[in-house]
Amino acid sequence: MTTSIEQRFFELHPKSAELHDSARSLFPNGVTHDARRQDPFQLYYTHAEGAAKYDVDGNRILDYFPGHGALILGHSRPEVVQAVQEQMGMGTHFSGSTELEIEWGGWVRELIPSAEKVRFHSSGTEADMMAIRMARAFTGKSKVIKFEDHFHGWSDYLVAGSEGIGGIPKETLSTMIVLPPNDIETFERTLRENDDIAAVILEPTGAHMGLEPILPEFLSQLREVTERYGVVLIFDEVVTGFRTSRGGAQEYFGIRPDLTTLAKILGGGLPGGAVAGRAEIVNMIEGRQGDAEFNRNSRIAHNGTFNANPISAAAGVAALKIVANEPINDTANARAAQLKDGLNDLLGRLEIPGCATGITSLMFLHLGIDYEGDTDYCILTPEQQAVSMEPERLRQLSLSLLNHGVQSGNRFILTAAHTEDDIAHTIDAYERALTEIRALGLV
């Protein structure tokens, strides 16, 4: 049975519905990214500016998934657009080095505390793959620890413990160890009982961009224990790099990992990834003159057609300059705080169980649970998490919000382009959407 929310969704987005029908015969599920799947169909967009984007049916939609987190400056920031346009006129690929890549790497080293050396890639998935390979090559050990539900791209190793592992040999997965987060005793016991562990990798604010938080004290404990056991600590800052602070989560929490992976904001909205960190580990890519054994069996060979591509480098340099010199993080954080306070007030007024939580410019909404704890670090039980993530409620909420000109749901990625008026509009849209899903008996 079609709900009133779904009926309105069809009425507002007929051309997107047509395009989805065409795409289903061309792409698996009709989409080119798993996270873009939406029932009954996803929307198609034409252009974007600031905090909003516009779909093929002419609807203006406030964007709380800006570039999957890449666009802390907002859409189409003029300085980034100009830098890309100018570089396009000079060339898109020289099969060689450019001054831009030095400038780009220089901004990474200036902003990220752990960055002694840098190696560029084309995506966060590639950067994470390289980081664990560097750690294995450097330590001579084979196993890597990750934490439950933490996302590190789609590579064979790092999807261990996740759904969708078809086609991955069991031998590959056997080199990964998946542990519960925020449990230092289990982590240290694992190191004590296994002397073949090269590294541990984690999202430093927690799984799903911080939806399931890592506690700051656990990060401190990890740093101490990994140093004691000689295990490489890798911060996956693909999301948090240049966002949690200018220097990422490591600057925000005051903890320096051995390696850091970056993407998203790094490329200014274009494809780009990087591994940065201790020079002696990153230098596993370098060859040794006259050492054939090392060069064949220990060195990491690394090519990549679009590594440090000049278009991405131009966008990345432009974006990181702005992050370094303007209060970008402060502005995005202020809008997030305004939204968090407004949504918590709204839930109270509507007498709907739930809470809005999160730190800096990453924010989350938990519905259906009574929670009166810390609104920065909301640790839920598995049972509470299941209630909060109830699929049909979240689906109807997301569709209703789109009907009211907001793309969100239970996750918010704020930008410096969001205004106070945008936040007020968003809170109003949530009031309408929550009222509509209440009428369906979902809250």
**Contacts of 230 by beta carbon, 8 Å cutoff, 6+ apart:** 139
Are 128 and 269 in a shared domain? yes
Q: Which band of pLDDT confidence, cut at 50, 70 and 90, is reported for residue 409?
A: confident
Q: What is the pLDDT of residues 189-234, one digit of tens each?
A: 999 999 999 999 999 999 999 999 999 999 999 999 999 999 999 9
Task: Return the CATH number at 167.
Answer: 3.40.640.10
The Cα–Cα gap between 368 and 371 comes to 9
Q: Which band of pLDDT confidence, cut at 50, 70 and 90, is reported for residue 370?
A: confident
Q: How far is CA 59 from CA 2, 50, 67, 147, 397, in A?
A: 22, 15, 18, 40, 18
| 3-state DSSP of 160-211 | CCCCCCCCCCHHHHCCEEEECCCCHHHHHHHHHHCCCEEEEEECCCEHHHHC
Are 304 and 413 in a shared domain? no
Last residue of a domain, one of 325, 341, 375: 325
Are 419 and 281 in a shared domain? no
Work out the average pLDDT over 55-79: 98
User: What values do phi and psi take at 62, rounded to 5?
Assistant: -65, 135
**Contacts of 164 by beta carbon, 8 Å cutoff, 6+ apart:** 34
Are 321 and 179 in a shared domain? yes
Are 187 and 145 in a shared domain? yes
Task: Return the CATH number at 334.
Answer: 3.90.1150.10
pLDDT at 372: 79
- Name the nearest CA neighbour of 397 among 359, 347, 349: 347
Work out the average pLDDT over 271-297: 95
The Cα–Cα gap between 307 and 271 comes to 10
Per-residue pLDDT at 158 exceeds 90: yes
Are 36 and 47 in a shared domain? yes
The Cα–Cα gap between 156 and 132 comes to 12
Work out the average pLDDT over 13-30: 96
pTM of the model: 0.97
Q: From the DSSP assignment, how many helices (H) and strands (E) are in the chain? A: 17, 16
Other residues' Cβ atoms within 10 Å of the Cβ of residue 96: 6
Are 415 and 335 in a shared domain? yes
Q: Which band of pLDDT confidence, cut at 50, 70 and 90, is reported for residue 375?
A: confident
Work out the average pLDDT over 117-143: 98
Last residue of a domain, one of 291, 325, 359: 325
Last residue of a domain, one of 310, 325, 340: 325
Per-residue pLDDT at 390 exceeds 90: yes
Per-residue pLDDT at 374 exceeds 90: no
Are 292 and 337 in a shared domain? no
Tell me 267's DSSP state: G
Are 344 and 285 in a shared domain? no
Task: Give how many domains the chain has, as a whole number.
Answer: 2
* Structural domain of 86: 78-325
The Cα–Cα gap between 338 and 328 comes to 16
Are 169 and 22 in a shared domain? no
